[in-house]
Amino acid sequence: MEILYIFVLIFTVLILAYNRAPLLIAMAIMVGLTVAWTELRHLFYVPSWFRFANGIVAVTLMGFSIKPLRRLLISDRLFGWFRKGLPHLSDTEQEAVDAGTVWWDAEIFSGRPRWKILLKMPPPRLSEKEQAFLDGPVEELCRMLDDWEICDTHRKLPEEIWDFIRENRMLGMIIPESYGGLEFSAQARSAVGLKLSSRNLTAAISVLMANSLGPSELLLHYGSEEQKKHYLPRLASGEEIPCFALTSPAAGSDAASMTDLGIVCKGPYQGKEVLGLKVSWNKRFITLAPVATVLGLAFKVRDPDGLLGKDVELGISCALIPTHTPGVQIGRRHMPVGAVFQNGPTQGEDVFIPMNWLIGGQERIGQGWRMAMQCRAAGRAISLPAAGAAGGKMAALMSGAYARIRKQFDQPIGNFEGIQEPLARIGGRTYRMDSARLLTLVALDQGERPAVLSAIVKHQLTEGSRQCINDAMDIHGGKGIITGPGNYLARAYQATPISITVEGSNILTRSLIIFGQGAIRAHPWLLKEMQAARDPRPQARKNFDKAFFSHVGHIISNLVRSLLLGLSTSLATKPPLRGPTARYFRQLNRMSAAFSFTSDLVLILLGGKFKFREKLSGRLADALIHLYLCSAVLKRYEDDGRPEEDMPLVRWAMDDSLYIIQESLKGVLDNFPTPAIGRLIRWIVFPLGSPYHPPSDQVGKEVAQLLLSENASRDRLVSGVYISDEDDASGRVHRAFSLVLKSEKAENAIRNALKEPVTFENYQELVQKAVESGVITEEQATMVRLAQQASHAVIDVDDFPRSAIEGPEEPPLHPAASSGQM
């Protein structure tokens, strides 16, 4: 009986915490219950200790509800301590943290995601005009692009390709129609980037660069009307080619530490003396710089003579400088690995520019960093993720086909479990990557600038693409290694580090930005506490008190949720819908609470020192990343109409992600700053051990089979890439794949009847025999012959005369001459 009462008390407290009952309601319930137990003791046995314990909880909650009391006893005392412990953020770090908006990341951090909000989001969609553009000019451009010719022969985009890009206003996708641009949605820009990247990275980067962080975007958001009217129509038509120079040799990832400088002074411009800046810079790695006509330049501004006011250091600012301006050095090229897009350095020494060349004019001096960070908050989700999705999709398409075409030991290599493993990884990862890309674009098209989620998709899609391409290389063996016009993989493999490095290199993004910025921005209370602690006004303590107690409630609730969901193997939570994905929604509810609870305790224990614990931050970033990827996968499955045949992809992606979340959290807890607390939290979060396992062999096999045949799932998975129907490297694979599948039945019939497998060497003879003996029809025989020829063309690799590789042979030295004897 006594145990029952203990249970009732604990259960009541847990239920209140689990459901995040507001403090006043929780207090009212506990007071009400204490009164009820007192009255009910006349009717049945209610032990006095139980009423007392119930009363203690009620009184404690009452104490917490009386704000002056709790401030006096608790929050005012913590206020000073919290203020001191706040990590120091420089102005530029603060601006980077403040950039953009918060979206689904806030739901993940809440520990209790509201799935209905996500499921109600519109599915990704292109307008008719955007779809027509993809099916028309983009498809045509893809057909014109010859990867080998561009990279090996021309080592640049040929002029007719630039002309086509200009004529079709591809450099103006981001620019409104009123300025002569295409005014495409984020979905459309991503779709164009994806299709181009699947054909030729050089063209893709050239187009995407002009449409991402750079002059067009900066002008759109921050330019003066005069600047917009002058530049935007010329940028849209391609008359002006833009580039944006932020990176200096010394200031790489830490771009804000640049030493490029503009001194406020007066100087000559168009025959008059005007107020302006004498700018000196040394930038490198700048995409499109060698062919740019307008240079977007970021530099620090100094006003030593006080021409603008009292302040000397005015901060980072951005200007647009025509590249023909005297003193601008530009035109030399770097050679990025695996692609030949224009990229190079630029320098200038005391180049005078008038004030109105600053983006937004003089009034925007010092706002350059904030402008760049705001643009990057959204832009990062478009260009590189599009290229990453293309990498995954092409790896899936080509590897599946190649593994079906290529035979070893008398069977397609795709039949071997060893090959099915990488195939499954490619399929599952590509599905997951593309889901995240599409979901984030929905946010962008709703006007969000989700800084943390953009960083996640940039990181995950470029990293995922690298993993897919590595797997594809292994599946292709020597075919992937030997370069030449027939190789459709090696260039993507070589170029992979580019997207890993640019727009925030991945190690930095994972270790420092994703969780670091997420914890501050997306956490429901941390930012409010920090803002209150930094606020010098008297009401700051009041605001801190509110945020602090809400934060405490948040932690308690997540503790309880983690424990209850762990003990009930997530059955205590209700999924938002029924069906094959219901169990995954449940698991995500559990892991979201576990992630949120663990993050809070790490942040509390480490305080300001957290910034330097990148290994912990990186692991928490992994958990956050995969919670987001999982949300995107479940949303995509619904948006696609719940196709049953896609379930292997969903299962692979979800099982893999849940396992990564679990291992990441375990990694944090095993390396917790206070090991005993780490062990305790581990017990709370994983009370019954580790529930998640990597995708099973069976799921992997099912995913691999989707890639090894033609089916609707595969079509959905690779949708958006360019499918060549020409006699080129990828076109030959598509043709051979289709023929091999069509001739499979006939080949099997020949093998069974004639007891010999069909090979490149014997197919003419065997097919003839099979027709003569009535095993196959003449029509089937044609199919088998075509399939064998097409497969042979795919298996072939390029070879060259030695002189083509080594250059013309040097005439041999005369032996006597070489030995010095005459």
Binding residues for ligand FAD, per CB under 6 A?
A: 244-247, 252-253, 285-287, 336, 343, 498, 501-503, 505, 507-508, 511-512, 614
Q: How far apart are CA 100 and CA 374, in angstroms?
A: 6
**Whole-number minimum distance, CB 754 to ligand FAD, in Å?**
55
Nearer to ligand FAD, 505 or 709 (CB): 505
The closest of 566, 565, 564, 559 to 687, measured between CA atoms, is 566
Residue 52 tokens read as: 């007392």
**Whole-number minimum distance, CB 93 to ligand FAD, in Å?**
11
In contact, 298 and 316? CB cutoff 8 Å:
yes
What values do phi and psi take at 297, rounded to 5?
Answer: -125, 130
**Whole-number minimum distance, CB 316 to ligand FAD, in Å?**
12
Residue 349 tokens read as: 């020494």
Q: How far apart are CA 603 and CA 580, in angstroms?
A: 36
Nearer to ligand FAD, 507 or 754 (CB): 507
Q: How far apart are CA 656 and CA 626, in angstroms?
A: 9
In contact, 434 and 396? CB cutoff 8 Å:
no
Count, residues in the chain: 822
The closest residue (CB) to ligand FAD is: 252
Q: What is the 3-state secondary structure (H, E, C) of 483-504?
A: CCCCCCCHHHHHHHHHHHHCCC
Residues with catalytic roles: 503
Angle between helices 729-754 and 763-772 (to 10 degrees): 50
**Whole-number minimum distance, CB 384 to ligand FAD, in Å?**
10
In contact, 257 and 251? CB cutoff 8 Å:
yes
Number of H helices, E strands in the chain: 37, 9
Nearer to ligand FAD, 498 or 776 (CB): 498
Q: How far apart are CA 675 and CA 540, in angstroms?
A: 35
Query: Where would I find the beta strands (DSSP E) of 214-254?
Result: 242-245
Q: What is the 3-state secondary structure (H, E, C) of 12-35?
A: HHHHHHHCCCCHHHHHHHHHHHHH
**Whole-number minimum distance, CB 793 to ligand FAD, in Å?**
34
- Residues whose CB is less than 8 angstroms from the CB of residue 242 and which lie 6 or more positions away in sequence, other chains included: 171, 210, 214, 215, 216, 235, 288, 292, 293, 294, 296
Residue 215: its H or E element: helix 215-222
Residue 235 tokens read as: 């940028």
- Residues whose CB is less than 8 angstroms from the CB of residue 537 and which lie 6 or more positions away in sequence, other chains included: none
Q: How far apart are CA 362 and CA 655, in angstroms?
A: 54
Q: Please tell me whether residue 351 adopts helix, strand or coil conformation.
A: strand
Q: Are strands 313-322 and 343-354 parallel, antiparallel or unpaired?
A: unpaired
In eight-state DSSP terms, residue 358 is B
In contact, 781 and 770? CB cutoff 8 Å:
yes
In eight-state DSSP terms, residue 73 is I
In contact, 316 and 369? CB cutoff 8 Å:
yes
Please report the sign of the dihedral spanned by the C-alpha atoms of residue 624, residue 628, residue 631, residue 633.
Answer: negative
- C-alpha radius of gyration, the chain, whole number: 31
Q: Please tell me whether residue 409 adopts helix, strand or coil conformation.
A: coil
Nearer to ligand FAD, 101 or 511 (CB): 511
N-term to C-term CA, the chain: 116
Residue 17 tokens read as: 């915490």
Cα-to-chain-centroid distance, residue 622: 12
The closest of 74, 57, 83 to 552, measured between CA atoms, is 74
Annotate 137-172 with DSSP letters as a single string: IIHHHHHH--HHIIIIIISS--HHHHHHHHHTTGGG
Nearer to ligand FAD, 501 or 782 (CB): 501
- Residues whose CB is less than 8 angstroms from the CB of residue 327 and which lie 6 or more positions away in sequence, other chains included: 348, 349, 350, 351, 352
In contact, 102 and 450? CB cutoff 8 Å:
yes
Q: How far apart are CA 165 and CA 162, in angstroms?
A: 5
